[in-house]
Amino acid sequence: MVRATAPARPASQPGGAGGPGQAVQRRSPLDRVRKIGLPYLLLLPALIFELLVHLVPIIVGIFISFKDLTQLYLANWRSAPSAGLANYRLAINFNAPIGQALLHSFVVTCTFTVFSVGLSWLLGTAAAILAQDPFRGRGVLRAIFLTPYALPIYASVITWAFMFQYNNGLINHLLHDDLGITSKPTFWLLGNNSVFALIIVSVWRNWPFAFLVVMAGLQTIPRELYEASAIDGAGMWQQIREITMPSLRAVNQVLVLVLFLWTFNDFTLPFTLFGNAAPQNADVISLHIYNASFLTWNFGQGSAMSVLLLLFLLVVTGAYLLITSRRRQSA
């Protein structure tokens, strides 16, 4: 408050950049236009960039998905021959190789997302609730917890790729040489285990975000709620169950959705961990589409898959918001 009012002072002095004339003729027609136009003017820069980078490309992407766009037409993409619905038909024909591979990739992505989001949410929430009370070293602990999220994703994922190496990695050294849990070293970045590697790295990266958001959410719960229930004789665990968790419902609604969308669409993490060629079991959707577009140079096909992905996300998000909002209202 104090900070805010002090800088406001100079604004009251006359003769600023706006010119003194404007302040006097307050009701002129020009002023009314200005008043109505002002919010739009303020939005204009944001709108221009949103159009250029987000919205127009989406429309172009949908356009391309109906085209037979290969590298031959890349220089003059608007004149690529029409493909009708062929790209879509191929993508959802689950008896043919392309559709089969897409379906497989979709299932892998769903599995990966469910485990990654679930664990990230669980760890983040547990840490935030447990680290709520002041104790010695709490500040340091918070900094340590947030560091995985603060690190540039490619730097930390390269480190994980190093740790998962077969010969010289930390994980195999720990499990095989130090603890003797495995009889021989494990391939983490190839074959069946690759999906575990992906989940571990993804949880490591994302749980601090959940921690951060839940921590912020906890600060909005009024202390009186706890005091009142303590007088009523409620124990700690009971308070967490009956006050903390219900109060976090609104925060969780957004948090889980955001984690879901990030994880489902994540490209950087699997790409950095595996490179271009992800193993079958970790062939997540964005990597799959990237390969379908840029390795086979079939951009129409890749765009059709992307559009299908977007439709899926729209439906899931819509349904999720509908269900969770209704539940919140009835609760």
Establish if 290 lies at the interface with other proteins (CB under 8 A).
yes
- Least spacing, CB of residue 49 vs other proteins, in Å: 4
- Least spacing, CB of residue 39 vs other proteins, in Å: 4
Residue 114 or 261: the one with the smaller Cβ distance to other proteins is 261
Task: Give me the residues paired with residue 67 across strands.
Answer: 82
The CA–CA distances, whole Å, from 283 to 81, 144, 194, 195, 267 equal 30, 31, 9, 9, 11
Establish if 110 lies at the interface with other proteins (CB under 8 A).
no
The CA–CA distances, whole Å, from 221 to 31, 55, 90, 137, 244 equal 44, 38, 52, 23, 8
Quick one: which segment of 81-89, 93-101, 187-195, 283-291 binds other proteins (CB under 8 A)? 283-291
Which residues between 139 and 178 bind other proteins (CB under 8 A)? Answer: 141-156, 158-160, 162-163, 167-170, 172-173, 177
- Least spacing, CB of residue 101 vs other proteins, in Å: 16
Q: Which of 87, 244, 298, 301 binds other proteins (CB under 8 A)?
A: 244
Which residues between 204 and 223 bind other proteins (CB under 8 A)? Answer: 204, 207-208, 212-213, 215-220, 223
Which of 284, 323, 266 minimizes the C-alpha distance to 120? Answer: 266
Establish if 46 lies at the interface with other proteins (CB under 8 A).
yes
User: For residues 312-324, b (16+ Cβ closer than 10 Å) or e, as one string?
Assistant: eeeeeeeeeeeeb
What is the rounded CA–CA span in Å between residue 53 and residue 310? 16
Instruction: Tally helices (H) and strands (E) across the chain.
Output: 17, 0
Quick one: which segment of 31-39, 96-104, 110-118, 322-330 binds other proteins (CB under 8 A)? 31-39
